[in-house]
Structure 1
Amino acid sequence: MEGSGKTPELSQGNRDQEMAELAKEVKDLQRKVEGGRDRPIALSLLSASPFSMRIQEYRAPRDFKCPTMPTYDGMEDPSDHLIRFQAKMMVIGAEDPMYCRAFFSTLGGAAQQWFLSLPPRSINRFETLAEQFLTYFAGSMKTKKHFMDLTTIQQGETETLKEFLKRWQKEVQTVEDLNDQTTLTLFVEALRSGDLFTSLRRETPETYAQAVQRANKYAEIEEALRQKRRREAKSHRDEARARPVDRSSKWEDRPNID
């Protein structure tokens, strides 16, 4: 009788524990359905990683140092951020799983929230992550111009070659689908008539890069000449100020008031 009296009490305790665990599971499920806003980010990362097990189980080399770079918050061009990140990771020789795992550290704000919203284990390589990143933030990409827009760019009459090259390079970066020979032709025609224009027309380089290299050399010479002329003009002014005044001649030129 004594043993049978204890059994219901133990069963009731087990049922209470099971009910408590079930209530906890229901509460956790409700939080996930509602978006999980009250869950700590650390728990969300651990329980709902967007990476496959291959990436999660990857162990970085002991000497690996994650590159430092500005965080991306969704406001700037995502392709610019992606290129900077890939360049830094390429320099240190990182492997594909490390690309994936290090990328999250370069995100902030809306971009960080986007990353946390990716379906669990949906990313198995960095190429997939990069494509989804560019697609989601496509609205922040810079609008590219047509190459014909470059036909309106002309070197000004008083614009130095150095100033023009800086302006031209900035405009070229905004144009899409621009091949090398078209860029070369438009560049030459945009130049003001002068030594560089004559040189490029007389001996046209094979590539646009070669034309820019020649233009940079001409710009350096032009700037050196400008600086030399300024020094010479200043020297002439200083000599004129230092030249002694012939007071006798000035006295002779004064009118006779007697």
Structure 2
Amino acid sequence: MSERTYVVTGAASGIGAATADHLAAAGARVIRCDVRAAEVIADLAVPEGRERLASQVRAVSGGRIDGVVAVAGVGLPSPLTVRLNFFGTLATLEGLRPLLIESDRPRAVAVSSLSAIVAADERIVKACLALDEEAAAAAAAAAVEAGRGRIVYPSSKLALNQWLRSAAVASDWAGAGIPLNAVAPGVVDTETARRTFLADPATSDLVAATMPQPLGFPGPVSAIASLLAWTVSAGNSFMTGQILYADGGAEATLNS
């Protein structure tokens, strides 16, 4: 069995770095992509960065990859979150799909979020699904201006989930033999989480109450990395269009 080649975006830190390390430790070739400290430097929040990702990955991979792990994202109360989390992720998946087709066992996965089931802004989600980036950014800006900036992140992830469920079973993905799934983490112990809210007891307690995780809060990053790695492994040959909640039981608790 030949060595598999994977592309991981957001690979300079957090879940992306942990996943890239996990895949590399298992013997895979990993093309790490980020805005810094990566083999491919590309800003997926802008069109030219998305084009650069596709062209640079094609160049360094030799024209064939076996898996894409689209992790890159931010949680800011800003239109940037929509541009990166939704449109940057779609550009990653669609831009690299021609290279996946060259593999005999291609796979792709995106990172979603448990927060997508908690709250969302309909205008942001609708504009994303219409593939109207400027309208989605404007809706996000309006939410921020109205004091609802925290809703931008879950809205971007809900839109991603809905797009993925439809795309995964269409001719470009399932029809081409490419399983496409998403992993939706709960709150895990990343540097970003520690810096933004885990360090503040009041904020941490509020998040824990909103997204209760019976298996522990925060969860381990390694658990997310290993699940992402499995979804793009050769062994995942028959699962597609799924949103896998790796959240310590939060989704089950909230929906029970």
| Structure-2-length-normalised TM-score | 0.20
**Which of the pair is proportionally richer in helix?**
1
Q: Which protein, 1 or 2, shows the higher relative CO under an 8 Å CA cutoff with sep ≥ 6?
A: 2
TM-score scaled by structure 1? 0.20
Structure number with the higher strand fraction is 2
